[in-house]
């Protein structure tokens, strides 16, 4: 079961209301003296910063509170699948697999919201450690297994690592989030065909590639898909779900790790996302403010 993370809010609604009663917001400056105006601007800026911090705290709090019950649902579901309460028919097993997949999808969306609010509030922590590329790819594949199995009749998925991959010194969890998102997108946007996830040693680093033979991305959308909440029009109609944060988070995580992401795509032919990672992420474990 995925452990839930601890969360401590910095702001509460009542604390913010006490700090800034509503009448403060509407009180106009007494005159047009530049000093008074400057003070007024500074006061409003502080108010805005507090309101923004409150918004991000509220987003984090809600997302965090949703994780715990979802993890419990997943735990009970796993017990049922393991036949802890008696043998299952094929139909029952299949239904439980669907429950698991929907719960995992929701968990992924909650995690994206949490990652986004941490990035926005400057509370993202980079924790570098040694990462064996082959092990990382195996983990990505195994965590995506329920989604791969769901698509097994339409899509062939292969994951290969180089025979002798260098060991990276980077933040394992963040790099895993990036690769899992690319694989999950490839699965969502490839109705039929092939998906390849690979890694190869290159000058001073490792290049990962996620290739699919899916619907592709129009040329004029290729840069915009990295903006938050951006989704190519029409793609959701084919039953795909998401909040439009995955690629934005991937790009910002890679920025923190000293890596980068590129995409090539042709509509109707497929897409290739390439992630380049340096051998060593230079930043020490820090809280970015």
Q: In the range 269-288, which residues lie near ligand ADP by CB under 6 A?
A: 271
Listed residue (179, 173, 99, 180) closest to 129, CA to CA:
173
**In whole angstroms, how close is the CB of 191 to ligand ADP at the nearest point?**
11
> Based on CB atoms, which residue is closest to ligand ADP, 165 or 182?
182
Stretch 219-238: interaction string toward ligand ADP, x if CB under 6 A: ------x----xxx--x---
* Beta bridge partner(s), residue 2: none
* Beta bridge partner(s), residue 197: 159, 210
247 binds ligand ADP (CB under 6 A): yes
Cβ(208)–Cβ(177) under 8 Å? no
Three-state SS for 198? strand
Q: In the range 125-184, which residues lie near ligand ADP by CB under 6 A?
A: 181
Cβ(272)–Cβ(263) under 8 Å? yes
243 binds ligand ADP (CB under 6 A): yes
Listed residue (265, 162, 168) closest to 217, CA to CA:
265
Rounded CA-CA distance 75/166 in Å is 36
Task: State the burial class of residue 146 (Cβ atoms within 10 Å of its Cβ: 0-12, 13-18, 19+).
Answer: middle
> Based on CB atoms, which residue is closest to ligand ADP, 206 or 245?
245
119 binds ligand ADP (CB under 6 A): no
189 binds ligand ADP (CB under 6 A): yes
The secondary structure element, H or E, covering residue 270 is strand 270-278
> Within a 10 A sphere around the Cβ of 246, how many other Cβ atoms?
24
The number of residues making up the chain comes to: 289
> Based on CB atoms, which residue is closest to ligand ADP, 189 or 276?
189
Interface with ligand ADP: number of residues (CB under 6 A): 21
Options 48-56, 80-88, 153-161, 240-248: segment touching ligand ADP (CB under 6 A) = 240-248
Options 47-55, 58-66, 118-126, 207-215: segment touching ligand ADP (CB under 6 A) = 207-215
Residue nearest to ligand ADP (CB): 242
258 binds ligand ADP (CB under 6 A): no
The only residue of 137, 157, 183, 245 in contact with ligand ADP, by rule CB under 6 A: 245
214 binds ligand ADP (CB under 6 A): yes
DSSP state of 129: E
Cβ(128)–Cβ(167) under 8 Å? no
Binding site for ligand ADP (CB under 6 A): 181, 185-186, 189, 212, 214-215, 217, 225, 230-232, 235, 242-248, 271
């Amino acid at each position: 079961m995925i452990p839930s993370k601890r969360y401590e809010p910095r702001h509460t609604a009542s604390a913010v209301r006490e700090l800034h009663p509503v009448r403060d917001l509407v009180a106009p400056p007494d005159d047009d003296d530049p000093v008074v105006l400057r003070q007024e601007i500074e006061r409003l800026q502080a108010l805005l910063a507090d309101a923004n911090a409150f918004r991000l705290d509220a987003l984090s709090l809600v997302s965090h509170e949703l994780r715990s019950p979802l993890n419990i649902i997943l735990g009970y579901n796993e017990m049922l699948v393991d036949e802890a309460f008696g043998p299952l028919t094929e139909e029952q097993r299949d239904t439980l697999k669907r429950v698991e997949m929907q719960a995992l999808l929701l968990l992924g969306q909650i995690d994206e919201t949490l990652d986004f609010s941490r990035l926005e509030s400057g509370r993202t922590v980079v924790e570098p450690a040694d990462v064996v590329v082959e092990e990382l790819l195996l983990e990505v594949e195994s965590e995506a297994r329920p989604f791969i199995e769901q698509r097994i009749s339409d899509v062939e998925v292969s994951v290969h690592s180089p025979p002798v991959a260098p060991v990276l010194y980077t933040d394992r969890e963040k790099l895993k989030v990036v690769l899992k998102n690319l694989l999950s997108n490839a699965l969502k946007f490839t109705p039929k065909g092939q998906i390849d996830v690979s890694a190869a040693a290159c000058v001073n680093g490792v290049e990962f590639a996620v290739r699919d033979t899916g619907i592709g991305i129009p040329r004029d959308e290729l840069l915009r898909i990295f903006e938050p909440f951006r989704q190519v029009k029409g793609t959701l109609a084919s039953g795909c779900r998401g909040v439009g944060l995955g690629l934005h988070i991937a790009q910002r995580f890679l920025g923190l790790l000293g890596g980068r992401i590129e995409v090539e795509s042709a509509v109707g032919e497929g897409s290739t996302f390439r992630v380049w990672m340096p051998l060593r992420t230079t930043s020490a474990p820090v809280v970015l403010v």
